[in-house]
């Protein structure tokens, strides 16, 4: 049983090959219940491929073992909403649960947003609505593909603070993709660094150490600068 030791997910040796290209190779890791795992890596490292594989959207080798009765909420990086004349209320109603509660969780307390069209929302509002949508089915795991895509820098931190609260109050496990080391340090318990294979898997607090950074980003490259620069 996956949850015997407090784990909600165990991934063993998964590989993904599409159109003769290796997208993931021998990836293994585990995720503890109620924790946040950040997934970090360069473009094309297979981060989104990994989340899609965990959702069983891609053919793969190896094994993905979720705990019994797992309920996954997913927020993709990109959505097409600009052309859809759909209100927030109509969108949230596609889910089965209580969307008012979900809106409160993502701190959209002004309910006038319910009558707004999805296409006119700001980047931050749209991200919160998408997370609320994922929460309506009362999941115990959230998979978030760069949850602050399209959000201005000042609004990023409040979204991670909100996710941290959701994790604590609703006891949800979170796997999120990010490029931001500060977010990894502040809001993630564990870090999975990818570059098709796993380059680091362990406590996120270690990311400040030079040897771990070297492990994730490769050898340090020094550049020469003139004095006073």
Chain positions contacting other proteins, by CB under 8 A: 52, 55, 57, 72, 74, 76, 78-81, 83-87, 89-91, 94, 115, 117
Q: How far is the CB of 1 from other proteins (least distance, A)?
A: 24
Name the 3-class secondary structure at 150: coil
Q: Which is nearer to other proteins, 150 or 158 (CB)?
A: 150
- What are the two backbone dihedrals, phi and then psi, of residue 168, each rounded to the nearest 5 degrees? -75, -50
Q: How far is the CB of 53 from other proteins (least distance, A)?
A: 12
For residues 37 and 175, the answer to whether their CB atoms sit within 8 Å is yes
Q: Which is nearer to other proteins, 23 or 72 (CB)?
A: 72
Q: How far is the CB of 133 from other proteins (least distance, A)?
A: 8
Q: Which is nearer to other proteins, 73 or 193 (CB)?
A: 73
For the CA atoms of 186, 165, 138, 69, the dihedral, rounded to the nearest 10 degrees, stands at: 50
For residues 40 and 193, the answer to whether their CB atoms sit within 8 Å is yes
Q: How far is the CB of 77 from other proteins (least distance, A)?
A: 9
Count helices and strands (H / E) in the chain.
Answer: 7, 9
Q: Which is nearer to other proteins, 133 or 187 (CB)?
A: 133
Q: Count other Cβ atoms within 10 Å, centred on residue 110.
A: 8
Q: How far is the CB of 207 from other proteins (least distance, A)?
A: 28
Q: Which is nearer to other proteins, 7 or 74 (CB)?
A: 74
Name the 3-class secondary structure at 162: helix
């Amino acid at each position: 049983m996956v949850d015997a030791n407090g784990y909600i997910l165990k991934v063993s040796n998964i590989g993904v090959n599409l159109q003769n290209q290796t997208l993931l190779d021998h990836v293994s890791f585990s995720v503890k219940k109620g924790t946040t795992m950040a997934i970090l890596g360069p473009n094309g490292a297979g981060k989104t491929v990994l989340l899609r594989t965990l959702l069983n959207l891609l053919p793969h080798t190896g094994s993905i073992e979720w705990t019994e009765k797992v309920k996954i909420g997913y927020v993709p990086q990109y959505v097409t909403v600009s052309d859809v004349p759909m209100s927030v209320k109509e969108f949230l109603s596609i889910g089965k649960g209580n969307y008012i509660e979900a809106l409160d969780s993502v701190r959209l307390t002004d309910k006038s947003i319910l009558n707004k069209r999805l296409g006119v929302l700001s980047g931050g509002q749209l991200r919160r609505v998408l997370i609320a949508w994922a929460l309506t089915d009362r999941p115990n795991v959230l998979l978030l593909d760069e949850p602050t895509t399209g959000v201005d820098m000042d609004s990023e931190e409040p979204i991670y603070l909100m996710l941290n609260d959701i994790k604590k109050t609703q006891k949800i496990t979170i796997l999120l993709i990010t490029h931001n080391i500060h977010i990894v340090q502040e809001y993630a318990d564990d870090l999975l660094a990818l570059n098709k294979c796993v380059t680091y898997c362990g406590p996120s607090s270690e990311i400040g150490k030079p040897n771990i950074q070297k492990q994730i980003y490769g050898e340090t490259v020094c550049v020469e600068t003139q004095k006073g620069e």
